[in-house]
Structure 1
Amino acid sequence: MNAPVENSLSEAGLSAAGAAGFLHRYEGLRARLPGIGLPWLAALRDRAAEAFRAQGFPTRRVEAWKYTDLAPLTQTGFGEPLTPVESALPLPRHAAPKRVVFVDGRFSAELSDADVPVRSLARHLPELEGRLGALARTDDLPLVALNTALFEDGALIELGPDEDGGVVELLSVTRADRPVTAHPRHLVRLAEGARLVLIERSWGHGESRYLHSPVFEVEVAAGAHITHARIQQEASAGLHLSTVFARVAEGGTYDSFLLHVGAKLSRSEAHVALVGPKAAAHLNGAQLLGDGQHGDCTTFLDHAAPDCPSRQTVKTVLAGRSRGVFQGKIHVHQVAQRTDGYQMNQALLLSDQAEIDSKPQLEIYADDVKCSHGATVGELDENQLFYLRARGIPAAVARSMLIEAFLQEAIEGVTEESARAALSEAVAGWWERNAA
């Protein structure tokens, strides 16, 4: 149901006020941002700032944001993370043999492992003209425009033909001891036949409200394969608004799994284009939302070439007064004959105060396709709970077992062992923590 006009107008006012604050910050920081001496980058930032000025923060009057309200963002006075990167941070343990760390959006060589195929984007900006920003849209995506204007650093991953980058964990830490923002920009380019397993973990430390708003640009060349496991474990008051752009060439694969566990408000948006024959995309995920949390998984899958398969299963578990959103759109161009697309959203409600908004969509212009979508909403099976309780299993443990079993189908679709283990670890014990 659309918001009343008067509420929409007040949202528009909040959006404009919040946007003005960020634009003021951009003007103040403009001369200090990395790459200011590069004319092409300065022009890119200025165009993005103007695009953000024209759009403001999206409100619920925008169809794609109908179910997610950014008022907590526009009502907070954010500052910039002025203090230097510190090594004395209680970082979570490694989820991969190699790890690279960003703190408040900036690369930390001291906290990162050596011999990792990841470089600091800020240190290599002169090499990136024509590549940085090639996939990311700013004219109709204001959060991407804001990131483009304000980013300070990010990960640069470039693999050569047939190169195997192994398993790499990209850990983004935001120190939530004050209201700050981090806008890292990550650029991943896989040449023909290259392979990479990227475990991206977003993690917050502290109690204050903060904003972590990363943007990824992922280029997958012919025959290349990337597994991108995304684990959002922000602090309880954090705001996480991320966007991924992926372009997949002939025979390439973008295999992604998104897990929302933390943050007060989170939205992960993915724009994936299959541009070569037999390119493939998997956009699976899960959201585990406790009392007071809002999680939004939004995807746009563009089939622009023939013989391309895509799979998407997103499962959402909601406890207390939480709200989950799933929006998934598959667009099949006329040239994309023999497309095979599947999309499913399943929700498990653990409370009568929880809410799920599900909006799967198909837009098909080709004749020879096999596409389907669906959504289901349910509760825990009382018979299964009784069966476990009758065998002496405590109620909280029994519920946790059933919740993890509900999620297991989606997680088992991650074929890379390290990524699957990291996801399973983040899910384990979630109900016991939220039932306390």
Structure 2
Amino acid sequence: MTPDWIWKSALGRLEMKVAKASFDTFLRDTEGTSIESNILLVRASSSFAAEFLEQRLLHIIEEAVENVSNHKFSIKFHVGPINESIEFSDSNYDSHHTFRNNNYQNVKTPYSSELTLDYTLDSFAIGPSNEFAYSAISNAVNGDISFNPLLIYSDVGLGKTHLLLSARKKMISDGLNCLYITSEQFMRNFVNSVRNNDVESFRNRYEVLDSLLIDDVQFLSGKDQTQDIIYHIFNSMYQRGKLIVLTSNCHPSNLIAFNSNLKSRFEWGLVTNIQRPELNTAVEILRMKSHNKAVEIPDKVLQIIANEFSTNVRQLEGLLNRVIAFQKFNNKSIDETNVKSLLRDMIFTDRTSLTPEQVCRVVAKYYHTQNQAVVGRGGGKEVSRARNAAIYLLREDKHMSFKSIGNIFDGRDHSTVHSAWEKFSKEADSKDALVEISEIRRLLNNSN
């Protein structure tokens, strides 16, 4: 079962579900090019087509792919040829790395050169919230490994992956053998090596690296065998003076169900965090991203967006894409008036006037459940969804601490609230979640 077969089969279903004009314009000339772990890469005819598919049709596309393959893939769109071929295993839908002359530059990741053009250190907007982390990784990729390993932690969507991918690009351009891999990819590859009775070979592959970049190590929680193999790889690379960079959603001391020896090694070098961007940094992020897309957006418009949503870089970029699409589809410039109209369903107009209790009541009403069930314990799937949405809104729109939110939700502790917020945050860009949050915010605005 090849990527091309999966994609062509999915197109057959999509042709019956998507409007003919949209299918002919954006989908007909696409091609499934490769697979890495759970990511299906799809070539689009233009950057605009790729952006449209990701913003407007991603949910229905992922459903079609899952229906034809009986496997849940994430879909990534790119433009032009992929320079790195990716090997694909029919049996387990997982890829494995190939090595040429022990050169790890050829390792396959879902982030090809085409997909990471925007991910450079120069394209990272620097401000007080992230400048220390930026300086640390910039010095590391330029040969200063006096603080090795480097661990960067933050909430989701604040730039950790951007820094890792930028570091990977810089080191590969310098001729170094550098691997970027998510913790989940690492775990899947390790599990496959165990199944194939090939663990020693798996370990040896990391012996040729000059640098190892592991994203989201918190997902290794409770994975004892995977933690053990990382422990050995870590020790080997550290002893050989090779760079190790890690990211996490929390300080290593707060990692749950982790080998204590491994946690201590994570703190051997330098641990730093990225905080939510302040207004000026958020505006600069928007300015740089609009410049990269060759689109001019007035600074006053960028300030309106940043003032409402300076808490999450991914959310900022999603709003910027919405503004850019408005200009393209309507052939008119965005200004202070129409940007407020365009984003009114997403803007929390007066955060301070609504109490947390009001937010919870509106959320409960939207999900057709009782407020007491939302703030209490237990409940079914719908109650859990409502609870996570309420926690997400209190965190994102009212900027409440996890501890304060926990006090509202029957005394839940910091880690439990953080997990609920993180779970909803990871879904926040999906079609269903966007619809839900937009409608809840509209109801909140009307109740004010």
Same fold (TM over 0.5): no
With a CA cutoff of 8 Å and minimum separation of 6, indicate the structure with the bigger relative contact order: 2
In our comparison, the structure showing a higher alpha carbon Rg is: 2
Structure showing the higher strand proportion among its residues: 1
Q: TM-score range by the shorter chain?
A: under 0.3
TM-score w.r.t. the length of structure 1 is: 0.27
TM-score w.r.t. the length of structure 2 is: 0.26
